[in-house]
Structure 1
Amino acid sequence: MAGIGCRRGTSADELERVVRLALGLHELPIERLEAIATESEKATEPGFPELARRLSVRLVACTVSDLDRVAGQVLSPSKLVLKAKGLPSIAEASALVVAGRGARLLGARVASERATCAIATGEGR
């Protein structure tokens, strides 16, 4: 599962680049990806549904309360996200939420110029 955070207006191309970068760091092929997830407000950005369509995966919109429940498990908190959303993470927390029971991050989030991505595994949401 890939959790993604980004700046407003980030293109599907940039989102795809950061997802592929994160998967590559863990030596995982794109075909193993089951879902992408982000905070519900971000999920309305045009790049997210386009990315889900391109990769043939589901898009999961996580509520702030969903993300808050896993806040203690994030590896690399973001001061920017904390200030903007009151949460330590969007990418890592979204990955954990969508990974479901037994969720664990494979590593800290990676970043491109406008987006971040974290990969998690678990029993699914």
Structure 2
Amino acid sequence: MIVAGFGCRSGADDAAMRAALAAHGRTVSALATLTHKARLVEPLANALALPLILIDPAAIRGVATPTQSAASLIAYGTGSVAEAVALTAAGRGARLIAARIISSDGRATCALAEGILA
């Protein structure tokens, strides 16, 4: 199962998230984001008819990621929200298959992880 994890700023829109996801060029089985960002990602999940997995911010603290954002480290204790959310949502044995891509407007990031959902 491939999960697209999203990190986003409060002003992120559907177009930014679609662009970040499309840049990966892969079909995904589910979308994931932090619980308090659900309203931003939910329209995309609905449009794609994919489940949206919500992750508590505490669950990504300390998740090792290959890319590093100072803002993510300070706010969430991980280098990339998108990568950490994708890994956490993908479950047991998850591995990152695509590092985060940042939308052209800088408001959304998307990373892909593959694993066995819990």
Tell me the TM-score normalised to structure 1 length: 0.83
Select the structure that is richer in helix. 1
Q: Check the 8 A contact 1:81/1:87 in 2, yes or no.
A: yes
TM-superposed deviation, 1:87: 2.9
Select the structure that is richer in strand. 2
Aligned position for 2:20: 18
TM-superposed deviation, 1:109: 0.9
Instruction: Give the unaligned 5+ runs of structure 2.
Output: none
Number of residue pairs aligned between Structure 1 and Structure 2: 114
Q: Check the 8 A contact 1:75/1:107 in 2, yes or no.
A: no
Q: Does 1:59 align with 2:52?
A: yes
Q: Check the 8 A contact 1:106/1:120 in 2, yes or no.
A: yes
Cα offsets for 1:64-90 (capped at 9, x unmatched): 222126x12x11121111122333221
Aligned positions of 1:100-119 closer than 5 A: 100-112=91-103, 113=105, 114-119=107-112
User: Given residue 118 of structure 1, which amino acid in structure 2 is its aligned partner?
Assistant: A
Q: Check the 8 A contact 2:60/2:77 in 1, yes or no.
A: no
User: Given residue 68 of structure 1, which amino acid in structure 2 is its aligned partner?
Assistant: R
3-state SS of 1:122 partner: strand
Tell me the TM-score normalised to structure 2 length: 0.87
3-state SS of 1:61 partner: strand
Matched-pair identity in %: 38
Instruction: Report the aligned-residue RMSD.
Output: 1.4
